[in-house]
């Protein structure tokens, strides 16, 4: 019985959501399957992928053939690299500990590059919003952490309090100065 690792479509119209399944290649796309090993949601940015690496690796070792899309997903999640390392362990080229260390280093590097791509995407999205709306509206801005917010409020409260007495002094002095020239004019007229 030829076994495939493939996608099984779920979700509503124009909103796809897929299960990654192990199925007989002769069964229909959304028909019977042997085992579900993960999910794939292409509608999120970036796409959400959850795969049980151990199950996928065991099915690949037993001869299951992934479809092109699933092969790309398994490469992205490191299952194909894990399979490659296990072949090296089986041939005696490296020990299991070395293979685990290599995979851990690869996984760390992959997570760093993915987080960097996510940050870049967020910055591009924010720049687009700024371009469209001018200054970013308050609804799009992230809230400041709780520790920084009180300090900002205190600074804004102190500044008007200092300016207010100076403004009052200026208003009190101004009428007195204006009154003096008027009295001089009256004295000149008499």
Q: What is the pLDDT of residues 129-147, one digit of tens each?
A: 888 887 755 666 666 555 5
CA dihedral 104, 108, 111, 113 (to 10 degrees): -130
Predicted local distance difference test score (pLDDT) of residue 95: 92
CA dihedral 84, 86, 89, 93 (to 10 degrees): 0
Tokens of 115: 């987080």
Predicted local distance difference test score (pLDDT) of residue 86: 92
- 75-84 average pLDDT score: 94
Tokens of 148: 């920084």
Predicted local distance difference test score (pLDDT) of residue 23: 93
Q: What is the pLDDT of residues 13-69, one digit of tens each?
A: 999 999 999 998 888 888 888 999 999 999 987 889 999 999 999 999 999 999 999
Concatenated DSSP letters for 121-167?
HHHHHHHHHHHHHSSPPTTTSPPPPTTHHHHHHHHHHHHHHHHHHHH
Query: Domains in the chain, start-ordered, CATH in brackets?
Result: 3-133 (3.30.1320.10)
For residues 22 and 13, the answer to whether their CB atoms sit within 8 Å is: no
- 87-102 average pLDDT score: 92
Tokens of 189: 């007229």
Predicted local distance difference test score (pLDDT) of residue 102: 94
Average pLDDT, the chain: 80
Q: What is the pLDDT of residues 115-134, one digit of tens each?
A: 998 899 889 888 888 888 87
């Amino acid at each position: 019985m030829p076994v495939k690792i493939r996608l099984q479509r779920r979700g509503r119209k124009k909103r796809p959501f897929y299960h990654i399944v192990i199925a007989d290649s002769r069964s229909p796309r959304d028909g019977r399957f042997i085992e579900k090993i993960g999910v794939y949601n292409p509608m999120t940015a970036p796409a959400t992928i959850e795969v049980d690496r151990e199950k996928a690796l065991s099915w690949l070792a037993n001869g299951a053939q992934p479809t092109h899309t699933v092969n790309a997903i398994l490469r992205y999640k490191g299952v194909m690299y894990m399979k490659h390392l296990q072949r090296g362990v089986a041939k005696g080229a490296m020990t299991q500990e070395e293979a685990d260390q290599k995979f851990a280093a690869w996984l760390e590097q992959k997570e760093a590059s993915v987080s960097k791509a996510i940050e870049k995407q967020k910055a591009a999205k924010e720049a687009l919003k700024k371009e469209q709306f001018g200054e970013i509206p308050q609804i799009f801005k992230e809230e400041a952490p709780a520790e920084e917010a009180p300090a900002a409020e205190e600074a804004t409260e102190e500044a008007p309090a200092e300016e207010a007495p100076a403004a009052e002094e200026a208003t009190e002095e101004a009428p007195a100065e204006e009154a003096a020239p008027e009295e001089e004019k009256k004295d000149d007229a008499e």
